[in-house]
Amino acid sequence: MNVLVEYFDVFVGGFWLTFQLCVLAATGALLLGTVAAIMRISPLPPLRWIGAAYVTVFRNSPLTVVFFFAAFGLPALGSNADFLRVPGLTTLFERLGIDLPYFRFAVIALSLYTGAFVCEAIRSGINAVPAGQAEAARAIGLTFTQNLRYIVLPQAWKSAIVPLGSVIIAMIKNSALAGFFGVVGDLSSSAQALTSAGGEPIIPVFIGISIGFLVMTVPLGLLLDRIERRRAVLR
Amino acid sequence: MSKQQTVLYDAPGPRTRRLTVIGSVVAAVGIVAAAHVLIYRPLAEKGQFTMEKWGPLIDPGNEVFSLVWARLGEGFRATLLAAGIAIVCSLIVGTALAVLRVQLKALRPRRFVGFARPLAWLIRGTIVGLNALTRFCVEIFRGLPVVITIFFVAKALPDLGLDLGDALWYLVIGLTIYNGIVIGEVLRSGMEGLPSGQREAADAVGLTPFQGTWLILLPQAFRIMLPALISQLVVVLKDTSLGFIISYEEVLRVSTFIIQVLNNPIQVYAVVGTIYILINYLLTKLAEYVERRMSSGRRGPVAKTPRKTTKTPAAAGADAAA
């Protein structure tokens, strides 16, 4: 158990980096997913097709393939994902700005992959709004945009929040893959470094790494359970 | 187009239809242009469309074509093998876990008055302890990434003196721990979602709690949760690709070998990804089909014999409203 005390800063650092990755990827995924969801319900068929294609591709391919694409495909194209070096963001998240691109690749891969699931969660929320709501809105003369903005989306948001939460939890767990694709210093790469290179005993390292993840996933899960139960009573 | 989308806007008149057509054409042109500038041009500039890169994968006349596909085939067989074993094991573990947890819950209020008092206390203590333990394990392993579970299973088991030799088994164990628990929770929530009359009726006709769970609740939970179970299969199949971190020779690891020789990452991953997408897409469609069939073929959760869809228009309307 000495490892836990001795390498405390490694665990905390790993947690911190994984947390940053999760925040960035969650933001990206929510943006992408919302855009895709809007495309999927738009009246223009080409936009609907693009949205559907995006969701089908990323929901059905393993995250590993997406990561491989990001980590080996983008360099083969000569891209360093420099567009993520947004001036303000790089001061907040230092990893975004460094020369090694793997953190940026991880953000891209996670956002793209999770975005598809976010889109599905939002769409299921929209589908859960009773048809009469949208019909009533149309009957009193609201346009498509007004209908979405004032009637459908506020209600859809309510029933989408629980599925969205579980998507984000899944994403936090998926972020562990980043450590195997060149991101240095996050929880899973620390696990590798401590056990393989450092030769530290397995079980304590496992406990330390697990705590790092559980600190993020378990409270979120409990929060979701609570929201779900309150919703159930409200209905 | 689903029902919800048609509800969002009125049936289009001639003007709206014209606008939609114009908008569609503009959007299509915009998308094609964007794809050309953002995807095709960079790819073409880097020479990603040359036969040198694609030939080994799509040209049967290429000298390494058969070799590459033989290797990929081996990889896919390994992937499917691991996924198959993991699915079977997860189903067994999940069912056992669900039955155990429902069972413990059913036994908790019992006071075991027939037994001597210390023995009764002992039994009740065991039940409470087991309940807490299973709950704890479920929360822990559900909150952990599968990668981490697999990684540590592969590291820790040999350390504890349990050397299984083949990486396949570590992968299967890691996947089983996670997916077994997820399936267990799916089945358990299915069983707890059943009307309480099911359990009461089982008790009333004299079944033991175990018989009640096994014969009455579990089959119904399986039926209700079938779509969720099939989508879990997709998850298992996708997660099998994590085997590369413990050097299991599944298809993605095989691809890395191929890429080291041929130096065409984008092409190989595109092909492998497409095959994955096809398989998973079919599985997802299957889940949707099963879900549709079940929601239309059943009235309430208590249909004992799976009836063929006998749906009247009125029932269909009730379905849509429900």
Instruction: Quick: pLDDT tens for B19-29.
Output: 888 888 888 89
Give the closest-approach CA distance of A92 to chain B in angstroms.
Answer: 26
**What pLDDT shows up at residue B235?**
87
Nearest neighbour of A65 by CB, restricted to B27, B155, B269: B269
Mutation target vs B (from A65, A108, A112; most B CBs, 10 A cutoff): A65
**What pLDDT shows up at residue B66?**
78
Distance CA A103, CA A35 (A): 24
First to last CA, chain A: 48
Q: Is pLDDT above 90 for A158?
A: no
**Cβ-defined contact of A43 to B23 (cutoff 8 Å):** yes
Q: What number is the average pLDDT over the span A100-117?
A: 88
**What pLDDT shows up at residue B6?**
60
Q: ipTM above 0.85?
A: no
Amino acid letter for position B32: V
Give the closest-approach CA distance of B102 to chain A in angstroms.
Answer: 19
Give the closest-approach CA distance of B117 to chain A in angstroms.
Answer: 37
Q: Where are the alpha helices (DSSP H) in A44-92?
A: 45-60, 63-68, 74-76, 87-92
Q: Does residue A197 sit at the B interface (CB-CB below 8 Å)?
A: no
Q: How many of the other CB atoms lie within 10 Å of CB of B230?
A: 18
Closest-CA residue of A relative to B274 is A61
Element spanning A164, H or E:
helix A153-174
**DSSP 8-state assignment for residue B303:** -
Nearest neighbour of B276 by CB, restricted to A41, A61, A206: A61
Distance CA A130, CA A152 (A): 9
Q: Does residue A144 sit at the B interface (CB-CB below 8 Å)?
A: yes
**DSSP 8-state assignment for residue B250:** -
Cα A140 from chain centre: 38
**Cβ-defined contact of B8 to A69 (cutoff 8 Å):** no
Q: Is pLDDT above 90 for A114?
A: yes
Q: Where are the alpha helices (DSSP H) in chain B?
A: 3-8, 14-35, 41-45, 51-58, 65-107, 117-143, 146-159, 167-193, 196-204, 209-211, 218-224, 226-239, 251-262, 265-297, 313-321
Most confident listed range (B44-53, B63-72, B277-286): B277-286
Residue pair B104/B151 in contact by the 8 Å Cβ criterion: no
Q: Does residue A209 sit at the B interface (CB-CB below 8 Å)?
A: yes
Q: Is pLDDT above 80 for B59?
A: no
The chain-wide mean pLDDT, for chain B, equals 80
Give the closest-approach CA distance of B144 to chain A in angstroms.
Answer: 6
Distance CA A82, CA A32 (A): 19
R_g of chain B computed on alpha carbons: 27
Q: Does residue A45 sit at the B interface (CB-CB below 8 Å)?
A: yes
**What pLDDT shows up at residue A81?**
67
**Chain A residues lying within 8 Å of B259, measured CB to CB:** 72
Count CB pairs under 8 A between chains A and B.
153
Nearest neighbour of B144 by CB, restricted to A62, A195, A210: A210
**What pLDDT shows up at residue B312?**
35
**What pLDDT shows up at residue B319?**
35
**What pLDDT shows up at residue B262?**
77
* Confidence band for A234, pLDDT divided at 50, 70 and 90: low
Q: What number is the average pLDDT over the span B108-132?
A: 85
Closest-CA residue of A relative to B12 is A43
Most confident listed range (A39-48, B49-58, B75-84): B75-84
**Cβ-defined contact of B281 to A60 (cutoff 8 Å):** yes
Which of residues 141 through 180 in chain B touch A, CB cutoff 8 A? 142-148, 151-152, 155-156, 159
Q: Is pLDDT above 60 for B132?
A: yes
Q: What is the pLDDT of residues B295-317, one digit of tens each?
A: 766 554 444 444 433 333 333 33
**Chain A residues lying within 8 Å of B255, measured CB to CB:** 68
